[in-house]
A = this chain, B = another copy of it.
Amino acid sequence: MIANGNAASHRVTQWLSEFDDALSRSDPAAAAALFAEESYWRDLVAFTWNISTAEGRPAIRAMLEETLAQVKPRNWRLEGEATQTDGITEAWIIFETEVARGKGHIRLTDGLCWTLLTTMAELKGHEERRGETREKGTEHGVVPGRASWLERKAREEAELGYTRQPYVLVVGGGQGGIGLGARLKRLGVPAIVIDKHARPGDQWRSRYKSLALHDPVWYDHLPYLPFPEHWPVFSPKDKIGDWLESYVKVMELNYWTNCEAKRASYDEEREEWTVVVERDGATLTLRPKQLVLATGMSGIANEPKFPGMEWFEGTQHHSSRHPGGDAFAGKKAVVIGSNNSAHDICADLYEHGADVTMVQRSSTHVVRSEPLMRHALGALYSEEAVKAGVTTEIADLIFASIPYRIMHTFQIPVYEAIAKEDAEFYARLEKAGFMLDWGDDGSGLFMKYLRRGSGYYIDVGASELVADGKIKLKSGVDVKEIRAHSVVLSDGTELPADLIVYATGYGSMNGWAAQLISQEVADKVGKVWGLGSDTTKDPGPWEGEQRNMWKPTRQPGLWFHGGNLHQSRHYSQFLALQLKARFEGIPTPVYGAREVHHVA
C-alpha cells in the first residue's frame, strides 16, 4: 500500500510540476494538453471568481487564456499521499494564486487529468483568525476608557443599519442566511441578516408538527460549530430551530428578527442598494452594497388556482402553511400532491385519525430513508465515514469534485441497487396504484434535487400507508374543481373534504427578486436552480453548474444563497469569500458568466 501510495504520489507530483511549468510560462495550450480529452476543471472562485466548470481541453484552454494573467497560480503541491484505484489516481492538492490560498482535488488517468477541482480556501492577508491566531479576548494592561465586549457588541448593534451601513444585507435568516452570516462575521464583513420571524429557527418551528430533517446529522453541520456527538440522526424541526437560535447568539450575528424587506432597488451609479425594511413595525432604509436573497431555495409557494376554490367551506391551504394533523381527527382530508410534504402531511393526518386521500397527479420518485442513507450518503456522510477519517470538509470537497456533467453516471448504479434491494416494496406501491419514477435517466433523488428541486419522497413511513391503503390514493388524475365540501377529480370522482392541503410545490427563487425588486430584475437574472440538464422541469441548454446560485448574477450586487444544510454550509464559504474580496477592494473579474435562457 505504501509503495502503491508513493508511486501514485509520484505521478501526481510529476503532473503538478508540468502543470505548474505550463502555467508559469503562461502557456494555456500546454496546460490544457495535460488534461484528458474527456476532462473537467471545476473551479470554486479560485480562478474564475465564479462557480464554473470548464469541460474538455478547449474550454480549459479558453478559461486559462482569460484568467491566467490575473490569477498567477503557483506552488502546486500534493497534500498527503495519492491513492490509486481502478486505474484512477486521486489526490488532494494545495496551491496559491496572487490573492489567495487554495485547496483542490485531482483525478488522473493514463497520466492525464480527468477531473480537477480548485477551490479558494482563504484570501491572503484576510485569513480568518482561529487556533493559534485566535483573538486574545481581553486586552491586558491599562486601557483608559476601555469598552467591554458587551459594550462593543451593544455599540455595533446600535450603529449597524442606523448610523453605519452594512456592506451586505442577507434577506432570510434560515440555515442559509445564518451560515453565511457566520462566515461574513468571521471574515470581518459588516453584514445584517434579517428575517420576518420572531426568533431565529422559527422558519423550522412554524412548519407542520411531525417535520424532521430528512437528511442525516453528518450531512447537516453548520460552519464552525458542528453538532455534538450525541445529536440525533434526524433532527426534529423544533430542535433544529433551537440549534439555529443558539448558533446565531454564539456566532454573534447581527440578526434582526421581526424584520421584513419591503422593496429594494439598485443605484447603478452609487453601486448600492436601497432596501426599505420594516423592523419591529418601524420602517427604515438600508443601503448595502451587496444584497443576498436567502429566502429559501424553494422560492415562493405555488398557490394553485382550481375552479371553485373560493366556495370551499372547509379548511384549505398550501402545504407551507399546514400546521399539523391535531385538529383533524375524524375529518376528511384531501392532499393534492405526492412529493415529500404531501407524504409527510398525509401520514401525520392519518396518525391523528383523519380520513386521508392523496391525489397523485404525476409520477414520483420514492426511496426509503434507510437504503438512501446507506447507498447514497454513507461513504461520505455517516458514522462509518467519520471513523474512516472523512471529515465534513473532506466529504464536501470530494462531493464537489464530481463534475455535474457526469454525476448521473455515478448516481444511476446507486438507485439500481436500491431498486433491486427494495423490489418487493416498490411492487407493493405500484400495486396500490402509485406511479413511480426514478428520474428521466434513472439517476434518482439527488439529481432530481439538483435539476428541479422536486419530484421525490424520502420515505420515512408514509409509503407503507399508501401501499396498505391506509392513506387512500387517487393517481393519474388532476383536480377538476373544488366544491363547498369536496374535491372533484378529472376522472369524475368526488372526494368529500373538510380539509384540502395543496402540496403543489414552489416557484423559482427569482420569484423572490420579482417580489422584492422588480420583474425586470427577476427576468434579467433568470431562472435560479437547475443544471440545464434538458430533463423534466430543468430545460437546457446545459449550464454545467446550478443556475445563479452562490455566484455573481446578471444583476450587479444581487446574489442567491440557499439549498439544503450541506449546500448552505459548503457554498457559503465561496459566497462569503466573493463578498469579502469585494469588500476589501480586491479585483474580482468574473469568468464564464452565463447567458440567461429561462426567466423562471
Residues of A within 8 A of B (CB): 128-132, 134-138, 140-146, 148-151, 153, 186, 205, 209-210, 212-213, 217, 224-225, 228-239, 242-243, 245-246, 249-250, 347, 350-351, 353, 369, 383, 386, 460-461, 464-465, 470
Docked Cα-Cα span, A235 to B142, in Å, equals 18
Q: Which residues on B sit within 8 Å (CB–CB) of A235?
A: 137
Docked Cα-Cα span, A153 to B217, in Å, equals 20
Q: Which of B128, B250, B386, B460 contacts A140 (CB 8 A)?
A: B460
- Knowing A142-B464, A148-B238, A347-B142 are in contact, say whether A230-B353 is a contact too (CB < 8 A): no
Q: Which of B150, B212, B350 contacts A137 (CB 8 A)?
A: B212
Contact A140 B461 (CB under 8 A): yes
Q: Which of B186, B236, B386, B461 contacts A142 (CB 8 A)?
A: B461
Contact B224 A131 (CB under 8 A): no
Of chain B, the residue at the smallest CB distance from A214 is B138
Docked Cα-Cα span, A212 to B234, in Å, equals 38
Q: Which residues on B sit within 8 Å (CB–CB) of A231?
A: 134
Q: Which of B129, B146, B205, B234 contacts A351 (CB 8 A)?
A: B146
Q: Which of B138, B236, B250, B350 contacts A243 (CB 8 A)?
A: B250
Contacts A129-B230, A242-B249 known; 14 new A-B pairs at CB < 8 A:
A128-B230, A130-B229, A131-B229, A131-B386, A134-B229, A135-B233, A136-B232, A138-B210, A138-B232, A138-B234, A142-B347, A149-B237, A224-B228, A245-B249
Contact B236 A230 (CB under 8 A): no
21 pairs of residues in contact across A and B, judged by CB atoms under 8 Å: A128-B230, A129-B230, A130-B229, A134-B230, A134-B233, A135-B230, A135-B233, A138-B212, A138-B234, A140-B369, A141-B464, A142-B351, A142-B470, A145-B351, A146-B210, A148-B209, A148-B210, A149-B238, A224-B230, A242-B250, A243-B250
Docked Cα-Cα span, A213 to B136, in Å, equals 11
Chain A, interface SS category = loop
Contact A232 B134 (CB under 8 A): yes
The 4 closest A-B pairs by CB, nearest first: A137-B232, A149-B236, A138-B212, A246-B246
Q: Which of B141, B145, B239, B383 contacts A131 (CB 8 A)?
A: B383
Docked Cα-Cα span, A245 to B248, in Å, equals 13
Docked Cα-Cα span, A440 to B389, in Å, equals 49
Docked Cα-Cα span, A135 to B227, in Å, equals 13
CB distance from A134 to the nearest CB of B (A): 6
Q: Which residues on B sit within 8 Å (CB–CB) of A236?
A: 137-138, 148-150
Docked Cα-Cα span, A460 to B139, in Å, equals 8
Docked Cα-Cα span, A242 to B243, in Å, equals 14
Q: Which residues on B sit within 8 Å (CB–CB) of A131?
A: 229, 383, 386
Contact B136 A233 (CB under 8 A): yes
Docked Cα-Cα span, A461 to B146, in Å, equals 13
Contact B228 A225 (CB under 8 A): yes
Q: Which residues on B sit within 8 Å (CB–CB) of A142?
A: 347, 350-351, 461, 464-465, 470
Q: Which residues on B sit within 8 Å (CB–CB) of A228?
A: 130, 224-225, 250
Docked Cα-Cα span, A133 to B239, in Å, equals 19
Of chain B, the residue at the smallest CB distance from A465 is B142
Contact B128 A234 (CB under 8 A): no
Contact B234 A137 (CB under 8 A): yes
CB distance from A149 to the nearest CB of B (A): 4
Contact B140 A232 (CB under 8 A): no
Docked Cα-Cα span, A137 to B234, in Å, equals 5
Docked Cα-Cα span, A347 to B134, in Å, equals 25
Of chain B, the residue at the smallest CB distance from A136 is B233
CB distance from A324 to the nearest CB of B (A): 8
CB distance from A443 to the nearest CB of B (A): 25
CB distance from A133 to the nearest CB of B (A): 9
Contact B138 A460 (CB under 8 A): yes
Q: Which residues on B sit within 8 Å (CB–CB) of A210?
A: 138, 146, 148
Q: Which residues on B sit within 8 Å (CB–CB) of A464?
A: 141-142
CB distance from A145 to the nearest CB of B (A): 7
CB distance from A186 to the nearest CB of B (A): 6
Of chain B, the residue at the smallest CB distance from A238 is B150
Q: Which residues on B sit within 8 Å (CB–CB) of A242?
A: 249-250
Q: Which residues on B sit within 8 Å (CB–CB) of A460?
A: 138, 140-141
Most chain B Cβ neighbours within 10 Å, of A146, A230, A231, A233? A230
Docked Cα-Cα span, A347 to B146, in Å, equals 11
